[in-house]
Chains A and B, each alone.
Chain A
C-alpha cells in the first residue's frame, strides 16, 4: 500500500502535463512568431527534453535529495546554501507571477469589478491548503484533474472543429519571413516558459516510488504536453488569425468566443476560464510547494507543513505588489527572459551538471 509520501509514475505524468499547461495554454506564448507559434513550441520541445534529462541525471546521482540539497553536495555548502535559498525565492517570485497573470486574466474577462486582492486571496487560500496537506495530496489531485482537463480540451476542440471557423490557410506561410523569428521565439522564450520550468520537479522527484520510470515518464509527459500545446495554439491562430493572435491578451478565450455550433452550443467561455483556473492552480501550487520544500530544507525545518502559511502569504503579497498594471507585468516578464530566468533555468543547472561530471571524473580514478 502507499507509504506516507510516495508518488506513482502516473501521478508524475499527470502533474507535469498540468504544470506545462499552466498559463501556457491560454497566453500567446508565440508572440513573436505569430502563425508559427505551433512550430516554435515543437522546436523548443527537444531542448526541454534535454533539460529534463539533465535533471534526471542529477537526480539519479542523488536520489534522495531535493534540488537545494544536492546543490550543496555538488558545489559545497558555502556556495550551495545561498544558491539553494535563491532558488527558493525565485520559485516564490514565479509563483506570484503566475498568480498575477491568472488574476488579471480573470478580471479582464469576467470579474472586472472585483478587486484583485480578493481574486488572489481565494486562489492563495486553496494553494496554502493543498501545500499544507503535502505532496501526495497535490499529486493525487493532479491525477484526478488531468482527466478533467483532457476532457475539457477535447470538448472545446470538437466544438471549434464543428463550428467551421478554422481556416488552415491562416497558418501559412510558414517560411514567409524565414526561419529566424520562429527560432528566436523558441529559444530562449518558449524554452524558458514553459519547458525549463520543470526544474521545480527536482524538489519532488525524491518522493517518487519507482525511480527508473521517472525519466521515461517525464519525457513522455513533456512530449504529450508540447504536442497538445502546439495543437491548441495552431487552432487559436487558425481561428482568429495571426494578427489578432499577436495582439491578444488571452487568445484562447477570444478564439472560443467565436465558436458556435448548431446555434445552441455557443459561448463556451466558461470552459476556457476553467482551464485557466485549473492550469494556473497546479502551476502555482507546484511552485509554492517547491519553494516550501527548499526553504524547509535550507533552514533545516522538520515540519514542512508549517511553512505553507508564511510562504503562501508572501506569494500573495508579491503578486499584488510586483507590477502596477498588466502591461508592466508583461514587460517585466519579457525582461526577465533575458536576465534572471536564464540564470536559474539554464546557467546554474548546466553549471551543476558540468561540476558533477568533473567531480565524477576525478573521483573515479581515486576510488
Chain B
C-alpha cells in the first residue's frame, strides 16, 4: 500500500468494521429492500404484461432483473441521502474532522465507501437470490458484464457520495439544510431510475435525466450488470460515470473552499 493511500484505506476499513456492529440494521435493510422489491416487481411485471410482453426494450425476465438489482444496489449507492456531514457541521463535531491532517472531502468519501461497501456485501445478494427463487430473473452468463459492472458499481457509489457531499456543503450557507437534502433525495432517487428504469421515462424526462449525474449512480450499474448494455455501449456508459464523478467532485471541492468562509462551527 503506497503511504499516500494508507489513511484513506484505514478510514474505509474502520467505517466498514463499525457497520458490522449493527447487524440488526442489516436485517432491517434487507427486509425493507425485499418488500419493496416485491411491490416494484408486481407493478412493473403488470406493466410489461399490459404492454404485450415488452416495454422500452424490457421483457419479463430483464424487468425482474432490473427490479432485484436495483433493490440489491440500493444500500450501496445510498439514495436515501446522507445527513451525516450536515449534522456534524450543525453540532460542531466537524471540528474533529478539520483537526486531522486530511482532506475533508476525501475523508468523508473513504468513510462513506467503507459503510456502503459493507451494505453492498450484505444487501446485494439476498434480494437477487430471493428474486431468482420467486419471480425468476435473467443475468449474464459471461464474466465481462460482471467485471465492468463491478467498476460501474464503485463509480456509482462514488458519484452518489460526491453528490450528497455537495448538497451537505451547501448547507453551510443555510441555517438548516434538511429541506434541501430531502428535495435532493426525492429528485435523485427518481432520476437515478430507482422506481422505474430511466429507459421507460417519456422522451423529455429521459433527456432531462441524462443531463444529471443521477443515472450514473444506479441505472448504469444495473444496465451493465444485467447485460442490458454491453461492449462499446457499456464502456461509453462507464465513461459517462467518470465524467460525472469529475464534475461532482469538483463542485464539492469548490463549495468546500467557499463554504469554509461561511462555516460557523457551533458549540464548545
Decide if A and B are genuine partners.
Answer: no
Binding site for A on B (CB under 8 A): none
